[in-house]
Chain A
Amino acid sequence: MNEVVNVITIQRVFWHAVNVLLMAGTLIVQPAMAEPYLAVRTGQKCMACHTNPSGGGKRTQFGKIYGQTVLPATGSTNLLLEQINNYLDIGGDIRASASVAKEPMEEDQAAFTNDRATLYLEAQLIPDRLSLYLDQRVAPGVSNREAWMMVSAQNKKTFLQAGTFYLPYGLRIEDDGAFIREISGVSFNNSDNGILLGHDAGPWSFRTSFTNGTNGGAETNTAKQLSARLAYIQQRWRLGVSANANDGADAQARQMSNVFGGLKLFGLEWLAEFDMVSDTSPETGKRRQSIGFLEANKELVKGHNLRASVEWLDPDLDVGANLQNRFSLIYEFTPLPMVQLRVGTRLRDGIPQNSAQNADSVFGQLHIWF
C-alpha cells in the first residue's frame, strides 16, 4: 500500500513540476503550429471547429468548446462562447514570441516579437445560408487577411464564397515557415481575391477556387489562378490531393500538385504531404521542385502535446547537391482554456555556402485565443 502511494505521489510531483516549469518558462519563440493534427485526432473535418469550411481562423461553437474543455490540462465548465447574439460572433488570436536564432557566419539574434494579433467577425445575415466573415490582423500593422461572403445550402454542404480568402491547397498548417507553405506560397500570409466553391458529401470534401493569382496584388492581366482540393476523411485516416495552376504576367506560370493525408497509428497523429512544383519563365525556363512534410503528434497527458516533424526540399530537380532539410521538435502545454505555451527548436540543414539554409532557432510562444 505504501509503495502504491509512493508511486502516485511521485507521478503527481513529476507532473506538477513539469507544469510549473513550463508555466514559468517564458523563452518561447515560434510561429504557430499545425492544427490539422487536431482534426486527425478527433476524426473531424476542419469545418467542425472552424467557421471557414476550409479551416483556419475563427472557431465554431464546437471549436471553442473543444478548446476550453478537451484541449487544456484543466478544462472549464464556465464556457466563454463570445457570441454577441444569434447573428454576430467574434473571435481572436494573439501570439507573442521570443526567439534565439543562430545562423552560421552571422551574428546571433534574440528578440521578443508580437507575432500576430487577429480578430474575427462572423455575421450570419441569414443563419446557415448567408454569412459575412472578416479575418483582420490588428498587430503588427493592420491588414485584412480574409473578407468574404458565403452563400450556402443547408448544413453548408455546398457553399460559394466570394471575396478575399486563403486558397484551398494541401494541409492548412499554421506553420507558414514549413517548406510546404513557404515554397508553395499558399499560407496564412497570402490570400487572394476571387470565388471559391465547396461541396461536402459524407466523407468527401471538395474545394475549388478561381482567383486573380496575385496574392492580393493588383491584377494587371486576364490570367487567373485555379486551385482545387479533394479529401476523403475517415475516423482514423484521411487522404487528399490538391492542384494549383497560376498564369502570371510576362509568360510566367506555376503548376503545383500534392498528395496529403493524416493517420492515427501507434497512439500518434501523423500528418504528411508531398508536393511537386513547376515554375516556368522566359528567363529561367522550367524548374521543378519537390517538397516533403511528415509530422507526428502525441498527447502525453491531457493538455500536453509533443510534436516532431521532418521536411525536405529539392529546389531544382535538375540540379544535384542542393537538398534542404528542416527538423522541428515542439512541446505544447495548454494549462488553461484558451492559453497555450509552446517551446521548441528548429534545425535547418542546407548547402553550406548559404547560411540562411543552415539557421537554427530555439523558440517559444504564448498563444491566447477566444
Chain B
Amino acid sequence: MKKIAEDDIYKYIALSYMTSLEEELNGEEAAGCDTTGLDRKTFDRIHNKVNKPKTIRLWAAAAVAAAAMLITIVALPVALRMLDASKINSGTSNESVAEENYELIPISFEIPENLRVADWKVDNGVSVYYLENEYEDDIVLQMKPLDNPSDEIDSDIGGLQLIEINGQDAYAGSFEGYNVLSFHDGELSYKLTCRYDVNTLVSLGKNIL
C-alpha cells in the first residue's frame, strides 16, 4: 500500500539519522561545564511545576463538584416536573409510544489494514462507525440511505471542493481541526471526517467507491 511504503521510507531515514547522531554524540565530553546554575534553575522550575498544577487541580475539582451539586439541587426537580407534565399532555404512556427502529447499515466494502472498527451506533437513521487508525488519524464514517440519487451530495459545510474518486464525484475539504469527505454511491450517502489529513479519507473513499 502506498501509505505504508512512504512511512517505511521516512522511518528508515529518521532512524538512520538518529543512529548517526547517537554515534556523533557518544563519547563526547563536556567536563569543563559548570552545571550549578543549571541545577538551580531546573530544580526551581520543576518544583514550581509540580506544586502549581496540583493546587490548581484541587481548586478546579472543588469548583466542578460544587457546580454539579448546585445543578442537581436546582435542575432536577424542574426536570422531573416537566417530564410529568409532558406525560399528562401527550396522553400516552411509554409502552404505547411507537419507536422507530433504525437498523445499522453494514459495511460492505473492504476496510484497509490500518483501520479497525472500534465502535458503532445508529443516530436518528444515520449509521455511524468509529474507525481506529493505526496511523492515529481516526475516522468517523457516517452512512445513511440516499433518498433521491439526484439529490446533491451532502455539502452542508461550505468550502468543500469537488474531486473525483474512482470516477465518482466527491466533495472534500480541510478545515481548522478536521477534514471532511462526502459522496454517494447511488444507494447510500457517506460522510467521512478525520482530524489530520484529508488524504486519509480519500484512501478510504477509494475502497468504498
- Bound pair: A and B? no
Interface, chain B (partner A; CB < 8 A): none
